[in-house]
Amino acid sequence: MLLNEFLILAAFLFCTGVYGVLARKHAVLVLMSIELMLAGVNINLVAFGAFHNSDIGQVFALFVLTIAAAEVGIGLAIVLLIYRNLHSADLDDVDSLKG
């Protein structure tokens, strides 16, 4: 079975996501990058599930999809609130956690 190909694809997607999270300044883009990371993880889960001939991987992938949907919902709401308050969606402007 072509496990390695799937894993490479997943790693690529994940790394793209990490790069996006670290490098992009716009909050929506960061959120999208997180989705990319989750997609990479999902591919891994499905691939390993098929490899081991088990359903668990698919079950987990479905869970992750659901959670990702909820997460995006909340994330976009937060971004919207940040935009309303700060009139910007630039993450560099959000530093109220600064100690």
Partner 1 sequence: MFFLDQAWLVPLIPAISFVVILLFGKRMPRQGSEVGVVAVGASFLLSCGAVVRWILRVHDAEGGSALGAFGRSIGRIGADHAEVPVLPVLHHVTWFQNGGVRLTAGIQIDGLAVVMMFVVTLISLLVHVYSLEYMRGDRRFTYFYAALSLFTASMLLLVVADNTLQLLVGWELVGVCSFMLIGHWWEEKPNSDAALKAFLTTRTGDIGLLTGVIMTFFIVQRATGVGSFNIVALNQAVSDPSSKVGHTLILWCAAALMLAIVGKSGQFPLHTWLPDAMAGPTPVSALIHAATMVVAGVYLGARVYPVFFHGFSIGDGGVNPMAAIGGITVIVGALLAFVQDDIKKVLAYSTISQLGYMVMALGVGAWTAAVFHLFTHAFFKADLFLGAGSVSHSGSHHSFDMKTDMGGLKKYMPQTYKTFVIGTLALAGIFPLAGFWSKDEILVNAGHNNYKLFLVIGLVGAFMTAAYMTRCVYLTFHGEYRGGHEPHAIPHVDEAEHDPIDTPASVEHDAEVHPPHESNRLLTGPLWVLSFFAVFAGFLNFPHFSRFEKWFQPRYPAGFAEILHPVAFNPILATVSVLIAGAGIGIASAYYLGKLPQGLSERNAIARAGKRFLVNKYYLDYVYENVIVAGIKGPISTGVYWFNQNVIDNVLNYTGRGAQALGRATYEYVDQKGVDGLVNGIATLTGESGGEVRKIQTGRLQFYALVLVAAVVIFAGVLWIST
Binding site for partner 1 (CB under 8 A): 18, 21-22, 30, 91-92, 94-99
Instruction: Quote the least distance from Cβ 48 to partner 1, whole Å.
Output: 19
Query: Would you say 28 or 50 has its CB closer to partner 1?
Result: 28
User: In this complex, which beta carbon is closest to partner 1, that of residue 29 or of residue 50?
Assistant: 29
Terminal CA-to-CA distance of the chain, rounded, Å? 51
Pick the closest to residue 44 from 60, 22, 30, 33 (CA basis). Answer: 60
Tell the smallest beta-carbon distance from residue 37 to partner 1 (Å): 11
Q: Are 45 and 61 in contact (CB under 8 A)?
A: yes
